[in-house]
């Protein structure tokens, strides 16, 4: 590798299933195509493929764009592969260890350079969004046979709309979205909320490349049901975010987010994976385990 900046994400995830089962779900193309990607091709030795592509894989729309190649394949123990993602050489390593209650899955992803035009300070968050969302979908698939939330990146521009159902009352989700101490548990860093139209609403985010970002003001409000705020992130086209909470029954609700007006695949996929990850975090906060 040359002198371009290397960005590294590494995390250890608990998965409540035996190591052999987790490894199988991550290496069987038929299973990967349920919870992770639209298309997959997996070999069983270094030099073989660990390819995934299609509408659920950001910046890998076609098989021609998928060059993921195995550098390690140790059944039940380890997978590693090289992958050119969004024009950047990257390396992924996954290790599987026995742990109390199941498996400890450690994922390390290094990106050498900037992915798909994202600025240096954004790249680590792209890696975290990808793998935290993916492991959330893996857990849900192993439990129920279906993923929790698979974003569709095919449109490449326009509004991003994502929904998730949560086993909790609608007012619990509303509280998580509007009470600063609750927001800070799953989304914000130092939230400010003045719950009225025109009131302040901030996540307290500061990014390396663009300073303060995210929302600042509530534009529209239907208490308990709908919150719309402005949006500012660097030079992105999107300037509005809409949240809606719909009761399904007394102990279950649907939360939908609409990020308005992404203008290109960089913005569209960045928001898609990022908001999907946060929706899983919201669900875990108000309904742990489901």
Q: Averaged in consecutive runs of 10 residues, what is the pLDDT profile of the chain (290 residues)?
A: 79 98 98 98 98 98 98 98 97 98 98 93 94 98 97 97 97 98 96 98 82 91 98 93 97 98 96 98 89
Distance from C-alpha of 223 to C-alpha of 169, rounded to nearest angstrom: 15
Residue of 145, 174, 148, 186 whose CA lies nearest to 246: 174
Per-residue confidence (pLDDT) for residue 1, from 0 to 100? 42
Question: What is the per-residue pLDDT for 209?
Answer: 62
| pLDDT confidence of residue 289 | 72
Q: How far apart are CA 142 and CA 116, in angstroms?
A: 31
Looking only at the bridges linking them, the beta strands covering 211-213 and 158-166 are: unpaired
Give the other-Cβ count within 10 Å of 2's Cβ: 6
In the chain, list all ranges with CATH 3.30.530.20: 6-144, 158-286
At residue 2, the pLDDT reads 47
User: In DSSP terms, which residues pair with 160 in a beta bridge?
Assistant: 259
pLDDT at residue 220, as a whole number: 98
Interhelix angle for 120-144 vs 265-286, to 10°?
Answer: 50
| Strand residues in the chain grouped as ranges (E) | 6-15, 39-42, 50-53, 69-74, 78-85, 88-99, 102-112, 158-166, 192-193, 201-202, 205-207, 211-213, 218-222, 226-230, 240-249, 252-262
Interior angle at CA 95, CA 90 and CA 96, nearest 5: 150
CB-based contact 18:103 (threshold 8 Å): yes
* Separation CA 213–CA 23 (nearest Å): 39
Reduce the DSSP state of residue 48 to 3 states and report it: coil
Which of 3.40.50.450, 3.30.530.20, 3.40.50.20, 3.30.420.10 is the CATH number of 6-144? 3.30.530.20
Q: Using the 8-state DSSP alphabet, how is residue 125 labeled?
A: H
Closest CA relative to residue 49, chosen from 170, 59, 259, 37: 37
Largest CA distance in the chain: 58
Residue of 226, 200, 225, 195 lying closest to 214 (CA atoms): 200
Q: Domain 158-286 maps to which CATH number in 3.40.50.620, 3.10.100.10, 3.40.50.1980, 3.30.530.20?
A: 3.30.530.20
Nearest alpha carbon to residue 153 among 62, 55, 231, 77? 55
Report the length, in residues, of the chain.
290
């Amino acid at each position: 590798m040359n002198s371009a900046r290397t960005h590294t994400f590494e995390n250890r995830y608990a998965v409540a299933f035996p190591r052999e089962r987790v490894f199988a779900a991550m290496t069987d193309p038929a299973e990967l195509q349920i919870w992770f990607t639209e298309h997959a091709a997996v070999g069983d030795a270094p030099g073989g493929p660990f390819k995934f592509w299609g509408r659920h894989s950001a910046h890998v729309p076609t098989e021609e764009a998928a060059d993921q190649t195995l550098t390690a394949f140790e059944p039940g123990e380890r997978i590693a592969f090289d992958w050119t993602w969004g024009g950047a050489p990257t390396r992924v390593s996954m290790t599987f260890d026995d742990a109390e209650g199941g498996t400890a899955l450690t994922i390390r992803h290094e990106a050498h350079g900037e992915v798909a035009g994202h600025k240096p300070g954004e790249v680590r968050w792209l890696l975290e969004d990808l793998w935290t969302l993916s492991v959330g979908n893996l857990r849900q698939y192993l439990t129920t046979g279906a993923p929790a939330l698979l974003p569709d990146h095919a449109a490449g521009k326009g509004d991003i709309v994502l929904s998730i159902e949560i086993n909790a009352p609608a007012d619990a989700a509303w509280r998580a979205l509007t009470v600063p101490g609750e927001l800070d548990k799953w989304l914000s860093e130092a939230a400010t909320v003045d719950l009225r139209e025109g009131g302040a609403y901030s996540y307290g985010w500061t990014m390396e490349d663009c300073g303060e970002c995210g929302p600042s003001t509530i534009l529209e409000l239907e208490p308990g049901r709908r919150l719309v705020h402005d949006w500012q992130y660097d030079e992105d086209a999107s300037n509005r975010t809409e949240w809606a909470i719909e009761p399904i029954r007394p102990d279950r609700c649907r939360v939908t987010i609409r990020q308005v007006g992404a203008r290109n695949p960089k913005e569209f996929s960045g928001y898609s994976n990022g908001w999907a990850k946060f929706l899983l975090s919201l669900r875990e906060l108000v309904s742990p385990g489901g």
